[in-house]
Each structure stands twice: as structure tokens, then as C-alpha cells.
Amino acid sequence: MNIGTIDLAIIVIYLVSIVVIGILSGRRHVSSGSEYFLAGRSLGWPMIGLALFATNISTVHLVGLAADGYRVGLVIGNFEWMATFCLILLGLVFAPFYFRNRVSTLPEYLEKRFGPGSRTFLAFMAVVGALFIHIGMSLYAGATIFHQFFGVNVYASIIIVSILTALYTILGGLRAVVVTESIQTVILLLGGVAVTLFAVFALPEQDIHTYSQFKNAVDPQRLSMIHPGGCECGLSWYAVLLGYPVLGIWYWCADQTIVQRVLGAKSERDAQVGPLFAGFIKILPVFFMVFPGVLAYVLFKDQIGDDPNQALPVLINRLIPVGLKGLVTAGLLAALMSTIAGALNSASTLVSIDIVQRLKPATSDRTLVTIGRVAASVVMVLAMIWSTQGGRFESIFTGINAMIACLAPPITTVFLWGVFWPRGTGRASLATLVVGFLLGAITFTIDFPLIGQTRIVTDGWGIGFMLQAWWLFCICSALFVIVSLASPRPSPEQTEGLCWDNPLVALRRGALTSMRDPRLIATCLLVTMVTLYVLFR
């Protein structure tokens, strides 16, 4: 990739600036555990929404969405648009319980609902997810991309990005993470918009002047969000409808890395509206991250060929002018650093609050902060070691989705049934988490091609990762219900204020007093999404 002096200067200035801003923003607010881990519960809904989006979008998304847009079209955008429904669920159903119970971590909420055993095992699963999925795979993906862009050694890229991100995250805590994420979200979106616009402006060079001409230049299915059953990409309408909620409810509603921003809200309304705001932002990646891949197919199909991962680099190299190219590349850095920073902060919170403070309740806030920093450093080093194994997967997206599909089902089961079914018991929760984790680990192991290239479950049995998640969820749900019915009914202390009496109570509680009511905002988001799916069906 052709990177000039001006672009390099912009990238370096960005790196230095974001580290300095992160350290300064959190420097005066880390005296207590609440300040360090939850930003003193002072976050408003705009910052929560921006931070949720920035933590989610990584370099894997920027490059991977464009690559799959090139390969299969807009259907890959279901990973973005389906997330809006999970964010509605977070805002209306889960956030009120998290905020009212003043929990610092999601395992803490699970202890209140089901007991200490569930809390301990969920904390373990959450740290595993942060280390292997959020940080490890993101590091490898980012390093691979920067090797393609700048020719920098993969291992050197991993070390540089790790040190810079860990520096302000470990020193500044959640406030530093959220402030930098808000800035990075803006840069990220500007970069995506720039790539899309320059690609659209280049279409006339291919003698494409109207939308109908554009449709004729690509496979019509490439512009559809809904694919029929049996499609080769594994994203048929029923696979997405059944499988994505299992992945999405864990990721958006029950994963500490994501939900920690909601736990730092200054009011219940901010905790509810922040996720809904993020839901509106999640509409944009289909147009500014997936659609550029389709544009790359029309503009540079001959140059990109059979390597879809080159779609975004080719677009940037061929279309983006000097100066702006540096800004777009800074957006790639922003995506990588924000994801790692969020996962690091959540891992340190889990270790300090759910492990150390539980074992030694008298531990001072200052000591907890120190332990959190040490834990983040250890997790970072382990993730760096794991990230060097990323090349063993068929693709980064395949590896990440395979891991999520195996990790998410038991957690989704416990949170979903736990919030909506008061009869659920602590024994059922712990049994589901342990058995579900083991089943997921076995599924991932036998589907990982240690020898040869054949994935037993995916290729041999014809069950893609989406449907793997669905069937594991069904097994975990059956186990949860059976064990719950065979166990003594929970005490009132384990259900009062911790779960809804029935699913509709979350929508019917209280009168609608103003247009600012989260339920009305959620309705607007829901109508918007239904309209978009009708337009792009």
C-alpha cells in the first residue's frame, strides 16, 4: 500500500493523541473502584451508545464486512442489523435490572439471581471470552491487516498495538476507555463514509450512472439482506433468525465487555436509551462497511480476484487521496484499539470484583484498582500469545464465530430464562453453565481441523455455526427447565426485583409520559428496522 509522509504523520499524531487523551481523561478519576471500573456511574446515554458501538466494531469488522460484502453481498450485514433487536432487548428488559440492583459486573447480578456458584463460573467464562475472542483474535486480525497495509511484521504489530492500548486502559480505567471510544467512533464512521463516497463517485468510470445499471453489474442476490434456504454462505433466513439471537443476546445483553458501559450509567434512563442509540448507529455499517465490498466487486473485481480480504485495502489504495488515507487508516486503528481496550477493562473488573473482592471482602478500593491493573496486564500478555495462533483458522471471521457459537448458548440460556421465568433455580443455572460450556468446548474441538481441512460439524454434518448455536441453545434450555422443575422453588429474595413476572411486563410497566420514554424510542427503532428489511429483502 502506498502510504506517504503526510498520511504517516496523521497516523502517528492520532496514536499519540489517543493515548494522551486516554491517560488524561482517566488520571484524576481512578482513586476508587467505582471510578476505575464504572467511571463513577456518571455516563450519559450519548457516550454509552457511542462506546457500545466502538467496542463492538473492530478491525475484523471493517475488513471482514467489506470482504464478505465482496464475496456474498449485503446478507453479511445481518450481523449488524440483527444486533439492533438485541440492543432493544438490552435497553428495555435487561438494563433496568442491572441498574436498579447497582451491580458492578454481570456475574454479580447472576449471584443475586442464582447464587455464588453461577457467579464464579460466569466470571471464568467471561474472562475466557475476553482473552480468546475480544482481544486475542482482534490482535491477530489487526496485525494481519497492518502487515498488508504497511509491510510491518505481524508480531511487531501485535506488540506495538498491545502496548499503546494497554497503556491508557490500565492507567485510566473505564472513563479513559469510554472517552477514547467516543472519539474513535467518530473517526471510524468518517473513514467508512469516505471510502463509500469515493467508491460511488468512481462508478461512472465503469459506465454505471444509475442504480438499475449498478444492479445489473452484480448478482441481484448480492443486494439482498434475506437469502433462501440452502444458500452456500450459510446465512439463510432461518439460520440467521434462529442462530443470531443466541449469539446476540450473549454478546449484547450478557457479556461484561459490552454491558460494562451500561453498568456505568448515571441514571436508569441513560442505561436504557444508550443501547437504543447504539441500535440506531448499528444501521450504518451495512451502508459504510458492507456496501463498499459490493462496490469493490464492481470496480476492482479483476484486481482483487479470489482474495476478498483485499477488498478494503484496494479501495483505500486506489481511491482515497493523500491525507484522507491517513485518516481512514487511523479509523482502522481506532476500531482495533477500542475493542481491545473495552475487553481489557472488563477482564480487570471481573478479576477484581468477582474473584478478589468475593474472597477478601475487606480489600481496599486502592488495592482492587492495583489488582485490576495487574490482571489486565496478565490478560494482555496471554492474549498476545494466543493471537499468534490466529493463522491456524480458515479465516478470522470463521474462527471468531465458531468460538462465539460454542461459548454463547449456555450464557444466553441462563440470562434469558432467568429474567423471564421466576421458577428458574440456582442449581439449573450452574448445571446449564457447566454442561453447556463443556458441550461447546467439545463442539469447537471436533469442528477445528487439527488434521486436514475438514470441519466435522460444519462440513461433515452440514451444520453451520449459526445452527450449531441454535441447537446448543435448545439443549441448554431443556436442561435448565428440567433441573429447575426438579429443584426447590427459588425464595422471594432470589426473584423479587431480579426478573419479570412475564415477558410483557417490561413493556407495560407505567404510563407513557413523554416522547423521551425508552419504549417509544425502541418502537421507532423497531419500525425503522422492519422498513429497512422490507426495502432490502
**Per-residue pLDDT reduced to its tens digit, 373-390:** 788 788 888 888 877 776
| Percent of the chain predicted with pLDDT > 90 | 23
CB atoms within 10 A of CB 321: 9
- Among 275-284, 314-323, 458-467, the range of highest mean pLDDT: 275-284
Q: What is the CA radius of gyration of the chain?
A: 22
Q: What is the DSSP string of 159-179?
A: HHHHHHHHHHHHHHHHHHHHH
Q: pLDDT at position 457, please? A: 72
Q: Can you read off the three cell numbers belonging to residue 24?
A: 488524561
Which residue(s) pair with 505 in the sheet?
none
Residue 510's alpha-carbon distances to 97, 336, 496, 504, 518, in angstroms, are: 16, 41, 18, 12, 12
Q: Helix (H, G, I), strand (E, B), or coil: what is residue 43?
A: strand
Q: Can you read off the three cell numbers belonging to residue 428?
A: 439449573
Q: pLDDT at position 32, please? A: 47
Mean confidence (pLDDT) of the chain: 81
CB atoms within 10 A of CB 402: 23
Degrees, nearest 5: CA angle 245-248-252:
140
Do 262 and 38 touch, CB atoms closer than 8 A? no
The yes-or-no verdict on residue 255 having pLDDT over 60 is: yes
Do 330 and 62 touch, CB atoms closer than 8 A? no
Q: Give every CB contact of residue 263 below 8 A, 6+ residues apart in sequence.
A: 38, 41, 98, 99, 103, 104, 105, 271
**Per-residue pLDDT reduced to its tens digit, 80-127:** 999 999 999 999 988 888 888 887 778 888 888 998 889 889 888 888
Question: What is the arithmetic mean of pLDDT over 481-507?
Answer: 84
Question: Model-level pTM?
Answer: 0.82
**Per-residue pLDDT reduced to its tens digit, 200-219:** 999 998 888 888 888 888 87
Q: pLDDT at position 307, please? A: 78
Q: Which CATH code for domain 5-388+395-535?
A: 1.20.1730.10
The yes-or-no verdict on residue 339 having pLDDT over 80 is: no
Question: What is the arithmetic mean of pLDDT over 181-196?
Answer: 77
Sequence ranges of the domains in the chain:
5-388+395-535
Task: Provide the pLDDT confidence category of residue 56 given band limits of 50, 70 and 90.
Answer: confident
Q: pLDDT at position 3, please? A: 65
For 113, the enclosing helix (H) or strand (E) is helix 106-114
DSSP annotation of 488 reads P
